Structure formats: structure tokens, C-alpha cells
Amino acid sequence: MDKEKNTELQPYKKGMLAVRDSARKLPDSMSDLVCRKLIRAACEYRKRAYTPYSGFQVGAALLTAQNEIIGGCNIENAAYTPTNCAERTAFFKAVSEGKKDFLAIAIVGGKEEKTEEYCAPCGVCRQVMAEFCDPATFLVILARSEEDYMVYTLEELLPFSFSGKNLQ
Ligand code: THU
């Protein structure tokens, strides 16, 4: 396996992180306590997932710059393509309430009630995040539980992204 590459992608883990060569602490804007609170909220919203087709239930909790938490779940549809991911549900709820400054999002998901895997956001959701967030500072928390999570910057998950800046 590509060991070198693996090391490069070492995420924040349990409050501490090693990215590339240097150990990196969680940024001041984000404490372990806040991560846990967001994960707890994501787990609650996950219970509302509407997933009659995939049975894959996802919950997301978005933290605004005003320290509010906006949650979301995935909502499926018989025609499949109208399905909305949990992350986008949270973003669209927030933006429609006039909130556009975000610090972080926690994501919890898996088949039925399981959380054996970390649920990484799909490409479309990463692009939606890039529309509203600074990729260098916005944090994406992938959690299996409150004690077991990884934190990435959006830039790490969506490098060299296309944004409104490209259209100026
Ligand atoms: N899903 C999410 O809600 N978020 C993700 O990050 C990945 C996928 C949903 C969409 C669909 O309802 C189900 O999971 C299976 O793809």
C-alpha cells in the first residue's frame, strides 16, 4: 500500500492530530468538548433520517460562527436523484434562516444504526461546503462516536476547489 500517502492524510484524532510531518493541535476555535457536542447533535439528527431505499442513515450538525448548531439528516426519494444528503440538509436549513458563516460540521452515518465506518461527505456536499466556507479553516468532523472521531479541514477533503472566485 501507499504508506507515504497514508501518512500525509493522517487526520486530527481524538483532539490531537498529525498532519504531514508535524503534530498539529485542534485549532483554538475547536475544542474536544465542542466536537463531542456536535457529534451528539449529529447522532440525534441521524435518528430522523428518511432512508427507505438505502437504509444508510446519516446525521450532520453544522456549527455557525454564532455558536448555533443546525442539524440535518438525509432524506431519500423514490425517484432517487432528489435525495438530499444530511450535510446539505443542514447547510440549506441554515442558509434559508439567514446564516452563512460556519466553523465546522460533524457527520455520523452508516447502514441502519451502525457506526462502524467514518462517513465522509460526498463530492456534492463538499462543493456546497466550499460555497459557504473558507476551505482552509472550515473543519469536517467524521465520527464513529463521541470518543472516536477525525477532523479534516475542507481543503484537505476538497483540494484545488472551484468556487465563486473562479467566476470573478
Ligand atoms: N449520504 C449522506 O447523507 N451523506 C453522505 O455524506 C453520504 C451519503 C446519504 C445519501 C443517501 O441517502 C444515502 O446516504 C446513501 O448514499
Other beta carbons less than 10 A from residue 41's beta carbon: 21
pLDDT in tens, 92-137: 999 999 999 999 999 999 998 788 899 999 999 999 999 999 999 9
Dihedral sign (CA 13, 19, 21, 22): negative
Q: Checking phi first, is residue 111 left (phi over 0); if not, alpha (psi -120 to 50) or beta? A: beta
pLDDT in tens, 75-96: 999 999 999 999 999 999 999 9
pLDDT in tens, 29-49: 788 899 999 999 999 999 999
Taking the centre of ligand 1 as the mean of its atom positions, its distance from the CA of residue 101, in whole angstroms, is: 24
Q: Are 84 and 75 in contact (CB under 8 A)?
A: yes
Residues with Cβ within 8 Å of residue 61, at least 6 apart in sequence: 38, 39, 40, 41, 42, 45, 69, 70, 71, 72, 90, 105, 106
In the prediction, which pLDDT does 44 show?
Answer: 98
Taking the centre of ligand 1 as the mean of its atom positions, its distance from the CA of residue 100, in whole angstroms, is: 23
Active site residue 87: yes
Q: Please say if the pLDDT value at position 162 is more than 50.
A: yes
Question: Ligand 1: which atom is nearest the Cα of residue 57?
Answer: 14
In the prediction, which pLDDT does 83 show?
Answer: 98
Helices (H) and strands (E) in the chain, counts: 5, 8
